[in-house]
Amino acid sequence: MSDTIPPTAPTGPSLNDFASFYLYGLTNQPYQQSTDLAKFGELYNLVIGNHGGLGIASTFHPYQLVNPAGLTVWYAAYAQFYAQPNRLELFAEMTVEKASFVTVPPASFAEFHVWPDTRLTTDENPIFGRFVPFVIPFLVRKDPELLRWDKEFATAEGDKSRIAPYLKAVNEAIHFVQPAPAFVLGFGEFDEQQPELLVEKFISCRDMLL
């Protein structure tokens, strides 16, 4: 019998190697899917750019992003990735080649679970029955380089006319899964410890809808 202890098999990467981002906007049907995974990949490249990670093949109402067990749709995407036997190779591709992949979320996220922050309910804000919030999530390998969304806005230097073509392209790119009249309001990073920050993004736009 050998006296040497076999090396422990690598288990990574961890969820801490990723960041949770999202496009957010308004629509009439927030929960939508498409089987066109290539289009989700194109949307990922347009919004995230040259960064490894996972596109998530669905759009959601914010109250669908966290299941009753407290797990987010981003965690579900990570769990699907982690379950792959070749996850280390895939992670290396994300890191070195900036590769991105697309995952299909579990059907359990179709269910609504209202958060303690109820401001997006129609009882509290009836306008969100007409203009319904939606989110398109992305799970991105952490990287010091700016995301494409941030680069485009930095280049525009606050000039609305310069950023308008990019925003038009993003709005057109979502229509395969969120057809008109859906439109994008912005982009953000999801903080699991402060989910109300996502709600606040919609609340800050409420007055312009009234």
Q: What is the pTM of this model?
A: 0.93
Residue 143, both tokens: 């990287």
* Span 53-62, pLDDT tens digits: 999 999 999 9
* Span 29-46, pLDDT tens digits: 999 999 999 999 999 999
> 11 Cβ partners below 8 Å, 6+ apart?
none
The DSSP bridge partners found for residue 16 are none
Structural domain boundaries of the chain?
A: 16-209
Q: Are strands 132-141 and 100-103 parallel, antiparallel or unpaired?
A: unpaired
* Span 70-129, pLDDT tens digits: 999 999 999 999 999 999 999 999 999 999 999 999 999 999 999 999 999 999 999 999
> 184 Cβ partners below 8 Å, 6+ apart?
23, 24, 25, 167, 170, 171, 174
- DSSP letter (8 states) at residue 14: -
**Rg of the chain on CA atoms, in Å:** 19
